[in-house]
């Protein structure tokens, strides 16, 4: 074998990897996700010259549209939603590689047409038959599209599939989908997207834990009293009754975003920051999660109430929702991670719609100081130390500490030391989709969920949901604009704790 001499000119250059030439095919190109997130993210990547020189976008959806109409619609989407100023030269370069295919998944002719367009794009744009397929479509459509892609797959170029949540609707369907995928694709070709993992603050959680020597020694049951994770939305279902009636808060948020936040908070240090090392540690947490019983899970559904001073409808009054719907719009639960680090340390988690404000936080509440040598009255306003990670909005973190109030005597109050990304670095944070689309093009799956992770998430969700048919529940049980049903407060009060005050 001939030894390859290393290139001495590359040493020290620290070249950021750029993706190889490829075509990004977006299934569901007429949808909201494409306009609001994917296209603005692609524009941001083009703006920073992070896309390959030979690149093209092919939008595919059922609605008929010409290439020019698609470009025009995407241009408006970028002008409305992109985080960067609109620059005509950047847009023109991106738009030059954009095509649109009308695709009815029930009709094979549409797939043939897509194949033909992709060949043309390869010829015109030099994309070398490399494909990234983005499935921004409901789970029912994914199966059909997967089969079509597998049938038409050739040995030339590579294929990567980005699959949006929800990945299945329960453990059985997720397994079935994973099996279907594995018939024609390898795990390295699959990128199950959970956009929370693309957020800077979620990645910063890993930086916080594994690059600061002061946190990891106390990141365990000995020093942490409990963990609270909140994923709160103030919006309702925004006209998505068809989806939400079947999904509910459990499948929409709890199964994916929330359990990923639990996994990242509780995981052991990975041996390196490669996809499998990180995901191996996350899956260990997911495997060891359990909830102590049905009483440790609370469901809720919002009734009428007020958001920002405006009266809003109850869930059952929303368009397309059954008037006697039992779909949950709120879930709170007490979870345990059965391992040496976390035994007996509760993770209280809650997700909900029509809560008072949009907020995703991870609060690590430390145990109280064992013997404060102050008079009781001096420290009556002193709360235990809390490390609060703001995932959104106002990304950053704060540490609540006790400090003396200036003046005579010894009065101690809780003060917050804040690190807010927006304040520390005024540089704009990249949107999660920018990072994730680029990573998928590069073939880096670190921030994507693996098949076994998804299955473990569904296993826990199925176990919780299995108890629900036996429970009698009266919905609605919380007013829009409140922090959820009283039973969620009771869940913590029983343990002598309470939800974080807002």
Q: Which stretch binds another protein (CB under 8 A): 10-18, 134-142, 151-159, 469-477?
A: 10-18
Q: Given 88, 257, 290, 502, which residue is catalytic?
A: 257
Select 8 or 469, whichever has its Cβ closest to another protein: 8
User: How far apart (Å, rounded) are the C-alpha atoms in residues 124 and 116?
Assistant: 12
Binding residues for another protein, rule CB under 8 A, total 20
Helix (H) or strand (E) holding 390: strand 386-392
Q: Which of 1, 8, 376, 408 is the binder for another protein (CB under 8 A)?
A: 8
Minimum Å distance from CB 83 to another protein? 12
Minimum Å distance from CB 5 to another protein? 7
Q: Which of 1, 3, 13, 214 is the binder for another protein (CB under 8 A)?
A: 13
Residue 301 DSSP symbol:
-
- What angle do the packed helices 108-125 and 139-152 form, to 10 degrees? 60
344 belongs to the binding site for another protein (CB under 8 A): no
User: How far apart (Å, rounded) are the C-alpha atoms in residues 419 and 359?
Assistant: 17
Minimum Å distance from CB 418 to another protein? 7
Select 93 or 189, whichever has its Cβ closest to another protein: 93
7 belongs to the binding site for another protein (CB under 8 A): yes
> In degrees, to the nearest 5, what angle opens at C-alpha 240 toward C-alphas 335 and 429?
65
Which contacts qualify for 396-405: CB closer than 8 Å, 24 or more apart? 396/201, 396/420, 396/421, 396/422, 396/423, 396/424, 397/201, 397/204, 397/208, 402/369
- What angle do the packed helices 275-287 and 259-266 form, to 10 degrees? 100
Sign of CA dihedral 214, 448, 343, 470: positive
Residues 398 to 437: which contact another protein by CB under 8 A? 418, 420, 422-427
User: How far apart (Å, rounded) are the C-alpha atoms in residues 223 and 439?
Assistant: 36
Site track 123-142 with another protein (rule: CB under 8 A), x = hit: --------------------
Minimum Å distance from CB 428 to another protein? 9
Q: Kindly state the tokens that stand for 45.
A: 């990547």
Let me know if 257 is a catalytic residue: yes
CB neighbourhood size of 347 (10 A):
22
Select 7 or 408, whichever has its Cβ closest to another protein: 7
15 belongs to the binding site for another protein (CB under 8 A): yes
Among candidate residues 201, 236, 20, the one with its CA nearest the CA of residue 127: 20
Q: Which of 1, 12, 106, 407 is the binder for another protein (CB under 8 A)?
A: 12
Residue 13 exposed, middle or buried by CB count within 10 Å (0-12, 13-18, 19+) = exposed
Q: Which of 5, 155, 310, 376 is the binder for another protein (CB under 8 A)?
A: 5
Minimum Å distance from CB 200 to another protein? 14
Site track 34-73 with another protein (rule: CB under 8 A), x = hit: ---------------x---x--------------------
CB neighbourhood size of 282 (10 A):
24
11 belongs to the binding site for another protein (CB under 8 A): yes
User: How far apart (Å, rounded) are the C-alpha atoms in residues 29 and 114?
Assistant: 13
Q: Kindly state the tokens that stand for 176.
A: 């079935």
Residue 145 exposed, middle or buried by CB count within 10 Å (0-12, 13-18, 19+) = buried
Select 15 or 214, whichever has its Cβ closest to another protein: 15
Q: Which stretch binds another protein (CB under 8 A): 4-12, 94-102, 156-164, 238-246?
A: 4-12
Catalytic residues: 257
Q: Which residues bind another protein (CB under 8 A)?
A: 5, 7-13, 15, 49, 53, 394, 418, 420, 422-427
């Amino acid at each position: 074998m001939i030894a390859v001499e290393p290139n001495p000119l590359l040493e020290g250059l620290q070249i950021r990897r750029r993706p190889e030439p490829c075509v990004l095919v977006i299934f569901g190109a007429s949808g909201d996700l494409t306009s609001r997130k994917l296209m603005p993210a692609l524009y941001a990547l083009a703006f920073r010259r992070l896309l390959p020189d030979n690149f093209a976008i092919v939008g595919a959806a059922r609605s008929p549209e010409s290439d020019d109409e698609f470009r025009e619609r995407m241009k408006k989407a970028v002008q409305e939603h992109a985080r960067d100023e609109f620059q005509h030269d950047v847009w023109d370069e991106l738009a030059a590689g954009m095509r649109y295919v009308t695709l009815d998944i029930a009709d094979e002719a549409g797939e043939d047409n897509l194949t033909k367009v992709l060949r043309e794009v390869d010829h015109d744009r030099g994309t070398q038959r490399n494909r990234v397929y983005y499935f921004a479509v409901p789970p029912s459509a994914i199966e059909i599209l997967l089969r079509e892609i597998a049938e038409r797959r050739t040995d030339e170029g590579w294929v990567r599939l980005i699959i949006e949540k929800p990945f299945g609707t329960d453990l059985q369907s997720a397994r079935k989908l994973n099996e279907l995928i594995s018939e024609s694709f390898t795990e390295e070709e699959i990128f199950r997207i959970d956009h929370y993992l693309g957020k800077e603050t979620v990645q910063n959680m890993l930086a916080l834990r594994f690059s600061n020597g002061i946190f990891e020694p106390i990141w365990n049951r000995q020093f942490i009293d409990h963990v609270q994770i909140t994923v709160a939305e103030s919006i309702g279902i925004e006209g998505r009754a068809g989806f939400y009636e079947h999904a509910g808060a459990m499948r929409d948020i709890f199964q994916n975003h929330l359990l990923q936040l639990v996994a990242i908070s509780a995981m052991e240090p990975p041996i390196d920051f490669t996809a499998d090392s990180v995901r191996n540690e996350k899956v260990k947490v997911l495997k060891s999660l359990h909830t102590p019983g049905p009483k440790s899970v609370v469901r809720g559904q919002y009734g009428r109430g007020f958001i920002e001073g405006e009266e809003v409808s109850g869930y059952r009054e929303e368009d397309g929702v059954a008037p006697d719907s039992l779909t949950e719009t709120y879930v709170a639960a007490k979870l345990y991670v059965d391992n040496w680090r976390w035994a007996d340390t509760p993770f209280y988690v809650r997700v909900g719609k029509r809560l008072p404000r949009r907020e995703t936080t991870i609060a690590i509440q430390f145990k109280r100081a064992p013997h404060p040598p102050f008079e009781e009255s001096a420290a009556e306003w002193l709360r235990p130390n809390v490390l609060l990670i703001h995932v959104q909005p106002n990304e950053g973190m704060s540490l609540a500490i006790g400090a003396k109030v200036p003046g005579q005597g010894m009065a101690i109050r809780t003060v917050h030391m804040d690190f807010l990304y927006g304040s520390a670095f005024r540089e704009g944070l990249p949107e999660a989709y920018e990072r994730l689309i680029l990573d998928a093009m590069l073939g880096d799956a670190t921030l994507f969920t693996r098949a076994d992770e998804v299955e473990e998430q569904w296993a826990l969700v199925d176990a919780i949901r299995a108890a629900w048919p036996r429970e009698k529940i009266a919905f609605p049980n919380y007013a829009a604009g409140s922090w959820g049903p009283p039973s969620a407060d009771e869940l913590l009060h029983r343990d002598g704790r309470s939800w974080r005050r807002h």
